[in-house]
Structure 1
Amino acid sequence: MNRKILTVIISIIVVVGILIITYISKENNGREIKQDIEIKDNNLNGTNFENLDLPENYDIRQFDGITLNFIVENNLYANVILHESEEFQKITGINIKVKAVDFDTLVQKVNLDFIAKAGKYQLIYVDPYQTLNRFYDYLEVLNPYNTNPDYPHIIGYTDDFIDNQKQVVSYFADDNNLYTVPFDSTTMILYYRKDIFDKYKDQFMEQNGYDPTPGSKDFTWEKYIEVANWIDENVPDEEVKYGSGHMAQKHNSIFCDFSNVLASYGGDYFIEDNINTLGLKSFTNINVKDKEFIKALDIYKEIVKSSSSQSVNWNWTDSANAFRNGEIAMMPNWDENYTYMEDKLHSRVAGKVGYCILPYGDEKSANIFGGSGIGINKYATNIEKKASWLFITWATSKDMQLKVLKHPEGGSLPTRKSPYEDTLIDKHINNPEEISTQDTFIKHMSAVLDAWKPENLYLRPQISNFYDVEQIIISNLHDMVEYDLDTNEVSEKIYSQLRQIQLQE
């Protein structure tokens, strides 16, 4: 045979061989891996797995060697999961790579992965307002996993999860397909410098005739403004620089910050059934020209004016840093910043912070919910999906939720009902004055549980075109506070831009 022809044939055989090996290698992460030894009696006592509902003879090592990429927002829950995943990997043999990123990066990377149908991230932290609403069809439907007798089950699924959170986080448009299991429960509350209020309360009351301490129904946004201005004028900068701090940057933060005020005055962006719970594909009835909306704009302008001059440039991270450094006396922020404030090694305000629901408007106190779920990428392989389901049952179990709450870097409140039956938690819910220094993880709990009451919780609109809607609101709110724009004109501009979205659909 001609040597050149032989060389070509050998080259073809080599290339084909490489392609076959590559295919097999790829498929090994997508089909069942047979174990030489089937583990029939899992000894999981003393681990985070011991109370999981596993099928009889379930092989906990059946996914040994698989790698799962979990992309998640860098928050309290993610930090603890990162620490605890070592045990998960040791027991299951699954290699968990947790990629914790900031909110904006999370949304960008997840959305790009879905658009490309790449399946790079098998496990996904699913924000209901940025991802679930737009890409629910790109997520694996989870109902069949929990009903399959050969798979692990989530005990109490789904009745054990807090109802209104579950509606927002797990479903979209209807409650037939369950796309995510509730993972975290971040909610905005008010942080305030208890030491400053204790020290200056009598002086303030003598001058103004009322108790300035946040938390009561009498503590309105108008009083919040008055108290913030009084602190600026009467408390030395060495003790605290500003009466309050806000998050009015041209960012998702200003939408959240303003929404608390808007809902407290009885306003909202749209008036539709289910738009703030299960969600809708789009909106119909725009509500931004109503008197409640305009009053909320007026109040919000004054709130930002009375806060730190840097508030127009701050997002939630910036204001949290300022509070932690002792620069501001009050701020609305996510409850997950709690352990950040109580870190005795790094926080200047550890042990000096009070927690309560946000100030009242004409209608109520409104505290925006920001929790998310954990879901499975529809474009993962079959075996990756099964391994991901095992991880989800572990990560959202009662035991893990309690571990996250009690962890020194934790404090994130459980999304399930059963953890609140824990003896220590129940004791502190009913006797908050008995909280010891060792149990500081629980100091903010009463404020968050108060914020979750139906009359105090605010759920933003969940719609498929929310990104475009939110950008309009963010841009106009930021320009309003930065350039002191007329609120009636701002309302009209928001309305006309939202109408443009309707007309283009």
Structure 2
Amino acid sequence: MNKLLRTVSAAALYAVATFALPMPSEAAEWDIAKAAAPYKGTELNVVFLDRPGYRAIIKLLPEFEKATGIKVNYEIVPYENTREREVLNFSGQGDLSIALVDLVWIGEFAENGWILPVDKFANDASITDPNLNLKGFFPLLLDAFGTWGGTVYGLPFDNYSGLLFYNQCMLKDAGFDKPPATWKELLEVYAPKLTDKDKKQYAFALQSLRGETQSADSFMRSLWPHGGSLLDKDFKSNLLSKESQAGLQYRQKLMEYMPPGIVSWDHAEAVNALAQGQVAMITEWSAFYPTLTDPKTSKLGDCLAVAPEPAGEAGRLPALGGFSLAVAAQAPEEEQKAAWIFIQWATSEAIARAYVDAGGVSGRMKVYEDPQVKATYKFVEPMVASWQKGVPEYRPRFPAWPAVSEVIAEFGTKMMLGEVTVEGGSKEIGNRMEAILKQEGYYDGKKKLLQ
């Protein structure tokens, strides 16, 4: 882990541990209607994604709006366009009241002053839930999704862990009674037996569409388990290391057992391929579990099974992804306070079970302690296990990530298509990435490596 990211994590966890609200020994039930009364009629604007976690909160919105009189206007935007849409809105002092913050955007949003620290509002008892309980979030999630430079800006919402979803019926038919424990086993033992190109059936699908899906879900996912990384301890490219090259070469070999055209597949295509029995295994975010269990969208039924992502030479290092909700600095003060009330409600322990039942993935620890939740949702135990020691630096969270991501997406795609070699593409990414970081001031003291 490089020094920047290790320090960010340590500082964030310290902030979570020390940040506390003045609370009685037994917190009273929050009268959200009373808290929201001064803001009745306020309209909030937020960007949502077309994913299960957002559809889940939309189902619950009428309850919030009825109780508070606050209206939440949401626009459904494709993930690939979300950051640009928000940045343009913030730069132009637009109408967004709430920021949807991916873990790799938190540095950019915080350093540009587009989002406000939680403690600006949390110390105001008139608008703060006495049961806010920041320590009730998984520390990893509050650190990775909501914290920058030791300051908490947002509360975890729509939280992901990379999991292995698989068709246990297909595996059984191929002679396997359990999923692969390692990536090596997946490639060398499982993949050949689970692939029948004449029948258009494949062992695995790795969503790799050019854009953030390519850079994060495909390229970066190939580095960590093999011991590779994007950057070394000096913030220089580590892509030519033996471990990084092994991970990227592994991806090229695994493509033999993936559907043709995988470089144009986004999450929806990978999930649908598993749901329709076209592939036997995918590594996908926990948030897609509802899609795979819905009989309207999936043929899997009891054949669906879930396990942790396979381990590599460096151990089991699952992907980590997700978002936080933060108050937009550009919003008028009254709107900011109304936004804070909504953010607390949407991420609260009080609605966590209802949110999970509606198809969302809560960042609250308590809801997953319920035996009924564990028994009902197959993804819970492997997901919770991965959140105990996941890696927030799975994707670097520095403000330069969006520019770096575009370079990775371009040359990561060319690698998969065979337009450049793995080594040649790695050199190109490294050179361009270091040029971006140099321009941003990471090598001459203009920007501190330690946040």
Q: Alignment identity in percent? A: 19
Identify, as 1 or 2, the structure richer in strand.
2
2:175 corresponds to 1:214: no
> Following TM superposition, where does structure 1 have runs of at least 4 consecutive aligned residues deviating by more than 4 angstroms?
455-458
Q: Determine if contact 1:71/1:98 at 8 Å carries over to the other structure.
A: yes
Where in structure 1 are there 5+ consecutive unaligned residues? Answer: 1-49, 202-210, 273-282, 429-434
Alignment map for 1:105-504 (pairs within 5 Å):
105-118=81-94, 120-130=95-105, 132-136=106-110, 137-153=113-129, 155-172=131-148, 174-175=149-150, 177-201=151-175, 211=176, 213-216=178-181, 219-224=182-187, 226-233=189-196, 237=199, 241-255=201-215, 256-272=217-233, 284-407=235-358, 410=359, 412-425=360-373, 428=374, 435=375, 439=376, 442-454=377-389, 459-483=394-418, 485-504=420-439
Shift of 1:52: 4.8
Letter in 2 for 1:252: E
Return the TM-score normalized by structure 2: 0.85
Distance 1:482 1:77 in 2: 33
- Judged with a 3 Å threshold, the aligned counterparts in structure 2 of structure 1 residues 301 and 52 are, in CA distance, closer, same or farther, namely farther
Letter in 2 for 1:416: R
Aligned equivalent of 2:10: none
Shift of 1:340: 0.6
The alignment partner of 1:501 has SS state of helix
State which drifts further: 363-372 or 342-351.
342-351
Shift of 1:419: 2.1
State which drifts further: 109-118 or 488-497.
488-497
Q: Determine if contact 1:260/1:458 at 8 Å carries over to the other structure.
A: no
State which drifts further: 351-360 or 150-159.
150-159
Where in structure 2 are there 5+ consecutive unaligned residues? Answer: 1-26, 441-451
Q: Determine if contact 1:366/1:457 at 8 Å carries over to the other structure.
A: no
Shift of 1:236: 7.5
Distance 2:184 2:240 in 1: 21
Letter in 1 for 2:102: D
Pick from 83, 103, 112 the counterpart of residue 59 of structure 2.
83
Residue deviations 1:175-220, cap 9 Å, x none? 1x3211111211221111111112221xxxxxxxxx573253xx33
Shift of 1:421: 3.4
Residue deviations 1:44-82, cap 9 Å, x none? xxxxxx975349x94543222111112122222211211
- Alignment: residue pair count: 411
Residue deviations 1:265-320, cap 9 Å, x none? 11111134xxxxxxxxxx72321121111111111111123211121211222211
The alignment partner of 2:195 has SS state of helix
Residue deviations 1:467-492, cap 9 Å, x none? 11111111111101102632222222
Q: Determine if contact 2:248/2:422 at 8 Å carries over to the other structure.
A: yes
- Judged with a 3 Å threshold, the aligned counterparts in structure 2 of structure 1 residues 52 and 126 are, in CA distance, closer, same or farther, namely farther
Return the TM-score normalized by structure 1: 0.76
- Judged with a 3 Å threshold, the aligned counterparts in structure 2 of structure 1 residues 101 and 493 are, in CA distance, closer, same or farther, namely same
The alignment partner of 2:279 has SS state of coil
Distance 1:242 1:135 in 2: 40
Shift of 1:88: 1.3
Q: Which has the larger radius of gyration?
A: 1
Shift of 1:399: 2.1
Distance 2:385 2:393 in 1: 12
Shift of 1:458: 6.3
